[in-house]
Copies of this chain bind each other. A is one copy, B any other.
Amino acid sequence: MPNDDGDAAERAVEDGSVTRSLQPMARRQTKPAIIDAALGLFEERGFEATTMRAIAERAGVSVGNAYYYFASKDELIQGFYDRAMEEHAAASAERLAGLTDLTERIVAHADSWFAALGRYHQFATQFFRVASDPSSPLSPFSSRSAPAREAAIAGWRDVVEGARTGDGSPAVADRLRSELPELLWLYHLGLILFWVHDGSADQAASRLVLAGTAPVIVRAIGLADVPELAATIDDLARLVATIRPMLAT
């Protein structure tokens, strides 16, 4: 098994030029080379049309070597996902900069996700097919994707924390502020599910769903303070609390 995060290869580079010049057989950065080859081919041909043999050939390694670094073809997808999420985080931060309205911030964050992944829609479809397999390590609920999940929730936390009312006070009541990011993340998963199945041109339908549902979500957040609904909300909170420990993935 390789070092878990390509540390070995990176360390070798950090050893500096002396080490490198003393070793004629320059240490290739095999793992990133494989990722680059895979992503390039995925974009060119799609996921299923890309063979492990083609990836290995473009990366200049043997097939077996690719499997030394990635347990399966599916795992190579993680590289695509990580890269896309970086793009999304950057694009979202830029669009959120001037916005204070919660609804607008939600729309901006989710819409920049659509923008970031739009060009990969067809390929992303195959990605989420794999990810929607509960037994896959790429499932959003798996322990292996916990870092990605937490990063995504943190993104939604930024959306919530940055929201202000007219007088500059936080737009979301304290009681909800801690739970809301995760709920919005679930809402986003739902949007993604729709987006994946969205056959409309440029996924326009998904953007409409976003624009149409975000205000409803925000209105529902406001409703959480209505006393008549408090009992129901408490029921749901208790339900979540009961169920969460039952789910060991």
Contact = CB atoms under 8 A, between A and B. Distances in A.
Interface of A: 125, 129, 132-135, 139, 141, 196-200, 204-205, 208-209, 212-213, 215-216, 219, 232, 235-236, 239, 242-243, 246-249
Contacts of A133: 125, 129
8 contacts: A129-B129, A198-B247, A199-B249, A200-B247, A212-B236, A213-B239, A215-B235, A216-B232
Contacts of A213: 236, 239
Which of A215, A232, A239 gathers the greatest number of chain B CB atoms within 10 Å? A239
Contact of A197 (B141, B216, B219): B141
B125 A197 contact: no
A246 B216 contact: no
Given A141-B197, A208-B246, 13 more contacts: A125-B134, A129-B129, A129-B132, A134-B199, A197-B249, A198-B247, A199-B248, A200-B247, A205-B243, A212-B235, A213-B236, A216-B235, A219-B232
A199 B212 CA distance: 34
Interface of A is mostly: helix
A139 B248 CA distance: 27
A212 B129 CA distance: 29
Given A139-B197, A243-B208, A132 B134 contact: no
Contacts of A205: 243, 246-247
Contacts of A208: 239, 242-243, 246
Contacts of A247: 197-200, 205
Contacts of A219: 232
Nearest to A125: B134
A94 to B, nearest CB: 28
B246 A200 contact: yes
B134 A243 contact: no
Contacts of A199: 134, 247-249
Contacts of A132: 129, 132
